[in-house]
Amino acid sequence: MTKPPLTILLASPRGFCAGVDRAIGIVDEALRRYGPPVYVRHEIVHNKYVVQQLQAKGAIFVEELDEVPDDAVVVFSAHGVPKAVPAEAKRRELIMADATCPLVSKVHREVERHHAAGHQVVLIGHEGHPEVIGTMGQVPKGSVVLVQDVEEVATLEVEDPERLAYATQTTLSVLDTAGIVTALKERFPAIHGPRSEDICYATTNRQQAVEMIAPNADLTLVLGSPNSSNSQRLVEVALRSGCPRAALVDRAEMLDWSLLDGVTVMALSAGASAPEVLVDDMIVAAQERFDVEVREIKTAEERVVFKLPPMPAARAS
């Protein structure tokens, strides 16, 4: 039988960012240096495939430090942690490695500077997200208030409108965040902003790439796990850009292929925590069902690399 035609508009940039590469490299290096098991507090990045690959090598993922035995090696995830977490790990004399993305650490330092200057911080982000929890945990409780949308700005209660600053989660929608920042500045004209944009380069680039290709597609597929904020935002960007349908899927084997019924042009991207192998697998799976033409659309070059930090010394046996 003749396969139906399918044009895949492949977003570029897509997939892993420098912070994710670094975080995974830290777990791999910890496993090489210390041997398994290595404990990782929270998923190192929000991708099921990546987590499963590291588990197969001997990584054990936990939610809290009390799940980590004494004398163990623990790695903190790319999303960052409250200051109380490394303090407790130090108290317990655990061997610890911090895989917090440097761009998240930048936001942490901003929040600390604003707090030291006597400013209450308004954090734009998603309640309960590990990055938000980590950022709010850099300063004493009550020093940071969270807003999630423009509507919350209207009812926001602050200690002193003249002594305010704002920061943002790094994986937000660029457009939504701009709207919230505008609302904050209109209501609190004296508010201080970050020295440079908090939303990370990779989040911005991936959203712009999807914004470019999605209007020309019948369907946009984003490879990424449901708990990945930056992947979820790509789906939203696709729909907002005019694509009639968009979906998030972990990997090809989990896709309901009926989604592609009647589709002749599909936009394809991957969140910043999704490895390129998942993109390759999706294209191969599509080729089994369709006569596929792949057109890669490049909207930006990425050359950012974050070096691995020095690893702590192993204990003498």
The CATH number of whichever domain residue 225 belongs to comes to: 3.40.1010.20
pLDDT the model gives residue 10:
98
Asked whether residue 314 is assigned to any structural domain, the reply reads no
Among the options 43, 110, 131, 211, which is catalytic? 131
Are the CB atoms for 273 and 222 separated by under 8 Å? no
Domain limits at 245? 5-16+201-298
Mean pLDDT of 46-57: 97
User: Are 89 and 53 part of one and the same domain?
Assistant: yes
**Rounded-to-integer distance, Cα 120 and Cα 158, Å:** 8
User: Are 120 and 88 part of one and the same domain?
Assistant: no
User: Are 52 and 136 part of one and the same domain?
Assistant: no
User: Are 75 and 56 part of one and the same domain?
Assistant: yes
**Rounded-to-integer distance, Cα 300 and Cα 17, Å:** 13
Q: In Å, how far from its chain's centre is CA 206?
A: 11
- The domain spanning residue 27 has which CATH number? 3.40.50.11270
Q: How many helices (H) and strands (E) does the chain have?
A: 10, 12
**Total count of domains within the chain:** 3
Residue-wise pLDDT for 255-290, tens only, equals 999 999 999 999 999 999 999 999 999 999 999 999
- Counted residue by residue, the chain has a size of 317
Q: Which of 162, 187, 212 is the last residue of a domain?
A: 187
User: Are 23 and 55 part of one and the same domain?
Assistant: yes
Asked whether residue 245 is assigned to any structural domain, the reply reads yes
User: Are 182 and 258 part of one and the same domain?
Assistant: no
And the tokens for 107? Answer: 């936001």
**Rounded-to-integer distance, Cα 204 and Cα 13, Å:** 10
**Rounded-to-integer distance, Cα 120 and Cα 161, Å:** 9
Asked whether residue 313 is assigned to any structural domain, the reply reads no
Q: Which of 69, 85, 101 is the last residue of a domain?
A: 101
Q: Which of 75, 101, 127 is the last residue of a domain?
A: 101
302 is catalytic: no
**Rounded-to-integer distance, Cα 272 and Cα 203, Å:** 7
Q: Which of 23, 19, 125, 27 is nearest to 73 (CA)?
A: 27
Cis peptide before 275 (omega within 30 of 0): no
User: Are 224 and 277 part of one and the same domain?
Assistant: yes
Are the CB atoms for 148 and 117 separated by under 8 Å? no
Reply yes or no on whether the pLDDT at 241 is more than 80. Answer: yes
**Rounded-to-integer distance, Cα 81 and Cα 10, Å:** 34
Reply yes or no on whether the pLDDT at 316 is more than 70. Answer: no
On average, the pLDDT of the chain sits at: 96
Give the helix ranges, DSSP H, for 156-251: 174-187, 201-213, 229-240
pLDDT band at 46 (very low <50, low <70, confident <90, very high): very high
Asked whether residue 193 is assigned to any structural domain, the reply reads no
And the tokens for 114? Answer: 């604003």
Query: In what side-by-side order are the strands of the sheet with 265-270?
Result: 246-249, 219-223, 265-270, 5-12, 291-298
pLDDT the model gives residue 119:
97
pLDDT band at 132 (very low <50, low <70, confident <90, very high): very high
Q: Which of 313, 274, 268 is nearest to 287 (CA)?
A: 268
DSSP 3: P
Q: Model pTM?
A: 0.94
Query: In what side-by-side order are the strands of the sheet with 59-62?
Result: 59-62, 38-41, 73-76, 95-98
User: Are 91 and 57 part of one and the same domain?
Assistant: yes
**Rounded-to-integer distance, Cα 259 and Cα 277, Å:** 22
User: Are 265 and 292 part of one and the same domain?
Assistant: yes
**Rounded-to-integer distance, Cα 297 and Cα 155, Å:** 42
Asked whether residue 208 is assigned to any structural domain, the reply reads yes
**Rounded-to-integer distance, Cα 304 and Cα 18, Å:** 6
Name 52's Cβ contacts closer than 8 Å, sequence gap at least 6.
Answer: none
pLDDT band at 195 (very low <50, low <70, confident <90, very high): confident
